[in-house]
Structure 1
Amino acid sequence: MNEVTLQVVEAPLDETVVRIALAGALGLFLGLEREWSKRSAGIRTFSLISLLAAVFTILVLETDIGEGILVLGGLLVIVQGVLLAVKGLMDDDDDDARLSLTTSVSMLVAYGVGSLVAAGFAIEGVTVAVLSTLLLVLKRELHEFAWGLSREEMRSTTEFAILAFVIYPLLPAEETLTIGSIDIPIEPQVIWLMVVAVAGIGIANYAIVSTYGGRGIAVTGFFGGLAASTAVVGTMLDHVNQRPEAASYAVAAIILADAAMAVRNLAIALAFTMGGGVDILVEALVPLGAVIVIAFIVAAISADWRESVEIDLVSPFSMKNALAFGVVFFAVLVFGSLAEVWFGTFGFYVTAVASGLVSSAGATTSAVVLYRGGQLGPTEASIAILLATVSSIVVKALLARTSSSQQFKNRVATYSGVLLVGGALASVVLVI
């Protein structure tokens, strides 16, 4: 009795009856939103379409029936969808016309989902069904997002898509750069993926800052720091010059921007060492974690939280900036590798400090790539990342020195010094 029960419970997905049932369930799931929207095709129609696709696919795979029957089923769905679309286009209501077109395409998606599941691609079928339903449910939000994009934002998004989905797949996975007698292993895809990741963070947080930037210093400083630390410093400088009494929360914004930069660098260090054939760079948690925690404590006790400020980011993404970051990153990687060969680990530390003046993310990604390639150990890579982060904190403090408010300058210098001391102590613990 126990054996029979166990076999029923562990029935695999490759059983024909299970695949048919799953196909019908996913079709029902897809049709649920159409039924709720009171479309002409709803739960029953979508379920039957997915079941039809599953049956035809199983017949093709497990019998001598040719693939023509599967194609015929797809054509029937297309014809039915075309009829619905034509009916919608003939109506006077533009919204009904668009919804009819969406329903027609959704029916074809349901047919594809049923075929995927029946062919054994259960995870893929579920993924398509969930994503498709999500697109249908978020109709209003997606339309509002698209209609609210400016020309510059649309252009930036398109450029980012080219970098992420066109250039990245064309790059080789591994290459070797030879300089004299020194061979430097390069991973072009990983390098470009890091460029895309940093740019993607900027785009995501541009949207957050644009939406919530005026609702609190935490959002303005932290998310603005993820998108563009210099923009935070520049905005606070202007604001303090106009309103010297706002120095307390302006200082907190810059400190939170430092925390955001440390979070970004830590995310790069952890994410790009996962699944790379090396241990995850958990050593970076100690020094960067100290900087992050101290920054949040300083911001919590020093800011006037009743204030808020708008931050104006010009563009979510710039092709020029992305390519410049890639050039800086590649140069840091090459010179860091050469310095490590010629002068040992100390040579790369100097390179990390210098590059952090321009881009701490570039130095961080360089350290991660060298760690993945075996040129740096986990402790050395973590110290290099910390040095780049510290260098960027110093740059922000120096920029703040241009303010006309002595109080603002002194506070930024003092609290930046606290971050530097905390990071230094953490790095000493790491070395010991």
Structure 2
Amino acid sequence: MDEAVLQVGNGPLDERVVRIALAGALGMFLGLEREWSQKSAGIRTFSLISLLAAVFTLLALETDVGEGLLVLGGLLVIVQGVLLAVKGLLGEDDAGLSLTTSVSMLVAYGIGALVAAGFIIEGVTVAVLSSLLLVLKRELHEFAWGLSREEMRSTTEFAILAFVVYPLLPAEANLDLGVVSVPIEPQVIWLMVVAVAGIGIVNYAIVSTYGGRGIAVTGFFGGLASSTAVVGTMLDHVRQRPAAASYAVAAILLANAAMAARNLAIAIGFTVGGDTALLVEAIAPLGAVIVLAFVIAGLTADWHESGPMELENPFSMKNALAFGAVFLAVLVFGSLAESWFGTLGFYATAVASGFVSSAGATTSAVVLYRGGQLEPAEATIAILLATVSSIVVKAMLTATSSNRVLRNQVAVYSVILLLGGAVASILVVI
């Protein structure tokens, strides 16, 4: 070897021998489950297939005849897979299992080719995911067989939203309003629609298992990811089951608590151990919001009701799209406010960013504070404005609900959260 360090490109594992060995090891790993299940192809077969692909791929990269050998090897694996499938159809083995083994052999061949070509991470990822699919066979079958028609349709719709529509949208665009052109991010807006649908599916699974209490659980943990998206999910569930309004209110309050806790963690965590002082000014108001949200949620929802709650489907496509339209309107309003406020543009930006993600505004304020561009008071004000706008926008979105109990309680409790944060700030200053 000319080099003391084995690398792939500029990183570790560049030597061909190491790549060949890794390909064989990944093939062995993939064949482990097949061997354990006592299938016709096991550890040795899968390892040899990956080794064959690695050798042919290296030859294809270095010689003129390698490409033909790589294609020939792939055809041989396909033929072997077809023979196994035919064997299953003739009754000598389970047809479904034989087909799975056949496809797994082709995957092993692809893994060997990926690793030999230098795509180490990709090859390892494919091997791990493939092995996971094989091991979770029973769980996956039970999940699929237990899906209703509505659940299957919702799953398909979500896949279209997330994996078909989202990649096709532009990252940036301009919305011409005549007087002014507002820059928008279609992918960000659509990502919020996907988030509403995704949280709805997770919430549906939790509620189906744990009843009404699951809604509140979804509210908090969903709030850590996107507290605004939680509102869209709750609006859909209350539309399907009006009796769940008290749980939906609790979920939105807990989403606010999670949002405030996340912002506080960013404000404190990123100023610990640096040259700048801790943003202790943010502790009192954000802490007040967190405590009040938990207290009100604990007192308003009927936590004794833990039986199953029947929901029609995981999420409503119509509701998710409507939420996206409202969210677009909020973004446009925020952008206009930012352009109109002039010298107060930074604070206006914090407010507008809070409509989308208060975490983004909080992170920006902390970074500027650490760089000496903002004073502690200015950074704290920006963080609080982002938090306030996040609470307000959730109340505004909830106001579109036809359920009077939901929209009135969220409005009242949001005011209480804001007043509690304001009072805590005043007490600290005094």
Could you say if the C-alpha distance between residues 348 and 328 of structure 1 is closer, same or farther in structure 2, counting changes exceeding 3 Å? farther
**Counterpart of 2:26?**
26
- Describe the SS at the equivalent of 2:211: helix
Q: Distance in 2 between matches of 1:173 and 1:9?
A: 35
Could you say if the C-alpha distance between residues 200 and 302 of structure 1 is closer, same or farther in structure 2, counting changes exceeding 3 Å? closer
234, 259, 271: which is aligned to 1:229? 234
Could you say if the C-alpha distance between residues 91 and 153 of structure 1 is closer, same or farther in structure 2, counting changes exceeding 3 Å? same
**Counterpart of 1:101?**
99
Q: Distance in 1 between matches of 2:428 and 2:62?
A: 61
Greater shift after overlay, 289-298 or 362-371? 362-371
Q: Distance in 2 between matches of 1:322 and 1:251?
A: 21
**Counterpart of 1:279?**
none
Q: Which runs of 5+ in 1 are unaligned?
A: 240-249, 272-281, 356-361, 404-409
**Counterpart of 1:88?**
88
Whether the 8 Å contact between 2:24 and 2:112 is mirrored in structure 1 is yes
Q: Distance in 1 between matches of 2:318 and 2:399?
A: 26
How many angstroms does 1:198 deviate by? 2.7
Could you say if the C-alpha distance between residues 304 and 181 of structure 1 is closer, same or farther in structure 2, counting changes exceeding 3 Å? closer
Could you say if the C-alpha distance between residues 154 and 367 of structure 1 is closer, same or farther in structure 2, counting changes exceeding 3 Å? same
What fraction of aligned residue pairs are identical, expressed as a percent? 66
How many angstroms does 1:33 deviate by? 0.8
Greater shift after overlay, 388-397 or 336-345? 388-397
Q: Distance in 2 between matches of 1:101 and 1:131?
A: 18
**Counterpart of 1:328?**
326
Could you say if the C-alpha distance between residues 253 and 329 of structure 1 is closer, same or farther in structure 2, counting changes exceeding 3 Å? closer
Deviations 1:370-420 (A, max 9, x none): 99999xx97547524423425646997999x977xxxxxx99999766534
TM-score w.r.t. length of structure 1: 0.72
Letter in 2 for 1:201: I
Deviations 1:316-342 (A, max 9, x none): 122212221221111112222223333
Q: Distance in 1 between matches of 2:263 and 2:317?
A: 21
Could you say if the C-alpha distance between residues 328 and 301 of structure 1 is closer, same or farther in structure 2, counting changes exceeding 3 Å? closer
1:10-409 to 2 correspondence within 5 Å? 12-91=12-91, 96-213=94-211, 219=217, 226=230, 228-230=233-235, 238=243, 254-260=249-255, 262-263=257-258, 290-297=288-295, 307-342=305-340, 364-365=355-356, 379-380=381-382, 383-390=385-392, 392=394
Could you say if the C-alpha distance between residues 331 and 422 of structure 1 is closer, same or farther in structure 2, counting changes exceeding 3 Å? same
Letter in 1 for 2:150: E
Could you say if the C-alpha distance between residues 336 and 146 of structure 1 is closer, same or farther in structure 2, counting changes exceeding 3 Å? same
- Describe the SS at the equivalent of 1:67: helix
Whether the 8 Å contact between 2:211 and 2:307 is mirrored in structure 1 is yes
How many angstroms does 1:301 deviate by? 7.9
Count of matched residue positions in the alignment of Structure 1 and Structure 2: 393
How many angstroms does 1:188 deviate by? 1.7
Deviations 1:224-254 (A, max 9, x none): 9947334677899748xxxxxxxxxx96874
How many angstroms does 1:184 deviate by? 2.1
TM-score w.r.t. length of structure 2: 0.73
Q: Distance in 2 between matches of 1:159 and 1:116?
A: 32
Deviations 1:151-185 (A, max 9, x none): 11111111121121111122122222333453322
Q: Distance in 2 between matches of 1:269 and 1:199?
A: 27
How many angstroms does 1:44 deviate by? 0.7
Whether the 8 Å contact between 1:58 and 1:118 is mirrored in structure 2 is yes
Q: Distance in 2 between matches of 1:65 and 1:46?
A: 24
Whether the 8 Å contact between 2:354 and 2:361 is mirrored in structure 1 is no
Could you say if the C-alpha distance between residues 115 and 216 of structure 1 is closer, same or farther in structure 2, counting changes exceeding 3 Å? closer
Letter in 2 for 1:312: E
Q: Distance in 1 between matches of 2:37 and 2:78?
A: 21
- Describe the SS at the equivalent of 2:391: helix
Q: Distance in 1 between matches of 2:396 and 2:177?
A: 33
Q: Which runs of 5+ in 2 are unaligned?
A: 224-229, 267-278, 366-377
**Counterpart of 1:278?**
none
Q: CA RMSD in A?
A: 5.0
Q: Distance in 1 between matches of 2:264 and 2:177?
A: 27
Q: Distance in 2 between matches of 1:217 and 1:158?
A: 23
Could you say if the C-alpha distance between residues 220 and 51 of structure 1 is closer, same or farther in structure 2, counting changes exceeding 3 Å? closer
Whether the 8 Å contact between 1:217 and 1:309 is mirrored in structure 2 is no
How many angstroms does 1:57 deviate by? 0.5
